[in-house]
Amino acid sequence: MAGKASAAEPPQSASSAPAGGSEAAKPRARGGHNKSHAEISGAGYAGLTAAVALAQRGWSVRLHEKRHTLGSFGAGIVMWENALRVLRAIGAFEEAAKKSFTPPFYETRMHNETVALEPFDRDPWATMTRQHLYDAMLAQARPLDIEILHDSEVVSAQPDGAVTLGSGRTIKADLVVGADGVGSNVRDSVGFAVERNKARDGLIRMIVPRCRGELGPEAFWDNVIDFWNFEPRVQRILYVPANDDDLYIGFMAPYGSDGSIVPIKLEVWLDMFPFLEPVLREAVHAPGRYDRYETTVLDAWTKGRVALVGDAAHAMTPSLAQGAACAMMNALSLAVYMEGGADNVEKRLQEWERNERPLTDRTQQRSAKLTAERALSKGEWVNDELMETMRHIPTGASADPLPGFPRRMATVP
Ligand code: 5PR
């Protein structure tokens, strides 16, 4: 396992630092002379996981984030066992678990009638805010041999391992990781064929206060509740307690409909979900964005020394809560395939894709089908096929049980 690198050497990174950033300005310690070096574009969940997992395996890593601040723009997240296992593998599990929650049930309602009530007492899972998850992962990156640059955009990459920054500077690496999201510069500059599929629906996601006092004393307000309505129009609210204080709430509606408008229109949601009035009133003032569901499938995930991971490679709909999870699994496994350093990077990247990609492909297909058919509304997604990904032991992660999980055995009311 890696500690902090001690040998201070190539000041090249200091000169690449964008002005003004405290991290960027920090003089750089880059360990050993013969360390293999990775340039990673994008400090989201995929990029952070790859950075930590590579550094743990002795690589020196530079992580570029084009935004000014490091952080998560998302609202909340449901983490299943595979994602929690990746967190443990990169050392972030305990910290992430601290401010997380496991609801007693995952409930599905149609027109406010319960159609499914899942205790998930054999599947460890947790909810949390995305910011909390991000902070837990970033804390793992800090002490490792990872140079984190903000305001630093990778504008293009080449299969030989060259990356060009927004500043115009070009750097050579043994490995380039494009973890730069659905609009990936790395992907589009290297030239991969992208097949995009947009669904008819999308959703607005935000964090609002739990409003427990106002919602009422019923125990079910601790559940995840997926409130579906098909009449008089298709609108759905995904209600996810993320911890004692924060509610992660998703407003799903067809693209272009009134339900897709941000800030949300109170009357559009209140007439179908009057029992959620306190949180709807909060949601009117919360920042949010409507995102149409989208799946992207590439002809390949790697070319030469370049590997794509996360939404850059395999954006998926969130029906199975596997977007970030697959991003993190693939980033971890990528580092496992890079164990031992820079020899044969190209061949090992191909092996990585060949072995690791099929599960993600299946997950994307299943998730897209659930989304297209609005099938989560039936609450019938808990079966061995659809749970395959959540129950998968990620390459590079331990199969040991997660400490403290399952968190509680729910009692049927
Ligand atoms: N499940 C989860 C989720 O966060 C979303 C959906 C389903 C856990 C939204 O991101 O279908 O939209 C969904």
Q: What is the 3-state secondary structure (H, E, C) of the chain?
A: CCCCCCCECCCHHHHHCCCCCHHHHCCCECCCCCCCEEEEECCCHHHHHHHHHHHHCCCEEEEECCCCCCCCCCCEEEEEHHHHHHHHHCCCHHHHHHCCECCCCEEEEECCEEEEEECCCCCCEEEEEHHHHHHHHHHHHCCCCEEEECCCCEEEECCCCEEEECCCCEEECCEEEECCCCCCHHHHHHCCCEEEEEEEEEEEEEEEECCHHHHCCCHHHHCEEEEEECCCCCEEEEEEECCCCEEEEEEEEECCCHHHCCCCCHHHHHCCCHHHHHHHHHHCCCCCCEEEEEEEEECCCEECCEEECCHHHHCCCHHHCCHHHHHHHHHHHHHHHCCCCCCCHHHHHHHHHHHHHHHHHHHHHHHHHHHHCCHHHHCCCCCCCCCHHHHCCCCCCCCCCCCCCCCCCCCCC
Q: Is 321 in the pocket of ligand 1 (CB under 6 A)?
A: yes
**Whether this model's pTM surpasses 0.85:** yes
Report the percent of the chain where pLDDT is more than 70: 91
**316 C-beta closer than 6 A to ligand 1:** no
Position 25 pLDDT exceeds 80: no
323 lines ligand 1 (CB under 6 A): no
Q: Using the mean position of ligand 1's atoms as its centre, give its distance from the Cα of residue 325 in Å.
A: 13
Of 123, 127, 240, 319, the one to substitute when testing ligand 1's pocket (max ligand atoms within 8 A of C-beta) is 319
Q: How confident is the model at residue 28 (pLDDT cuts 50, 70, 90)?
A: very low
Q: What is the pLDDT of residue 367?
A: 98
Q: What integer is the mean pLDDT of 182-195?
A: 98
Q: What confidence tier does 19 reach under pLDDT thresholds 50, 70, 90?
A: very low
Q: What is the pLDDT of residue 344?
A: 96
Q: What is the pLDDT of residue 72?
A: 86
At residue 354, does pLDDT exceed 70?
A: yes
Average pLDDT over residues 124-141: 98
Residue nearest to atom 9 of ligand 1 (CA): 318
Q: Is the pLDDT of residue 185 over 50?
A: yes
**How many angstroms does the Cα of residue 290 sit away from the middle of ligand 1?**
13
Write the residue with the smallest CA distance to atom 10 of ligand 1: 318
Using most ligand atoms within 8 A of CB, pick from 227, 238, 246 the residue to mutate for ligand 1.
238
Res 368 pLDDT > 60: yes
pLDDT at 24 over 50: no
Q: What mean pLDDT is predicted for residues 209-233?
A: 96
pLDDT given at position 73 = 80
Pocket lining: 83 vs ligand 1, CB cutoff 6 Å: no
Average pLDDT over residues 354-376: 98
Is residue 299 over pLDDT 50?
yes
Rounded mean pLDDT, 82-106:
97
**Ligand 1 within 6 A of 203 CB?**
yes
For residue 53 and ligand 1, the question of a CB distance below 6 A is answered with no
10 has pLDDT over 80:
no
Region 323-341 average pLDDT: 97
* pLDDT of 398 higher than 70: yes
Span from the CA of 321 to the centroid of ligand 1 (angstroms): 6
Name the pLDDT band for 140 (thresholds 50, 70, 90): very high
Give residue 33's pLDDT band: very low, low, confident or very high (50, 70, 90): low
